[in-house]
Amino acid sequence: MSEDTSEREIYEQARKRVEEKKGFFVHLLTYIVVNSALVIIWLMTDPGGYPWFIWPLFGWGIGLVFHFLGVWVFDRKTDWERREIEKEAARLRKESRPQN
């Protein structure tokens, strides 16, 4: 039974990681589409004027970089978090056992 639980936990962690990666790609695609539209609007209305589109491009780009770092670079679960999760899981297992 422990093996099944372990396999389920691994599967659930993998599923969550895939969801995080998918979320990043959706964010990236949205960033590209919206900012491309802003550049096109600028080109159609005032191509020689102040390039105002750089502000949302830059600001949103910072958020996109942090999203990337959170998904691919930094491990979200610290050792402390893992220990706390294990402690809480052990407590819940103990509580769920029938008392004689």
Q: How confident is the model at residue 3, as a pLDDT?
A: 56
Question: How many of the other CB atoms lie within 10 Å of CB of 92?
Answer: 9
Q: What mean pLDDT comes out for the span 54-75?
A: 94
State the pLDDT at residue 82.
75
Q: How many helices (H) and strands (E) does the chain have?
A: 3, 0
pLDDT category at 76 given cuts 50, 70, 90 is low
State how far the Cα of 86 lies from the Cα of 91, in Å rounded to an integer.
Answer: 9
Domain of 74, in residue numbers: 2-96
Q: Above pLDDT 90, what percent of the chain?
A: 50
* Identity at 50, one-letter amino acid code: Y
DSSP 1: -
Confidence class for position 1, pLDDT limits 50, 70, 90: very low
The residue with greater pLDDT, 48 or 60, is 60
Distance, in Å, from the CA atom of 52 to the CA atom of 56, rounded to the nearest integer, reads 8
Number of domains in the chain: 1
User: Could you tell me the CA-to-CA distances from 8 to 1, 18, 28, 30, 45 in Å, in that order?
Assistant: 11, 15, 30, 33, 55
Model-level pTM? 0.71
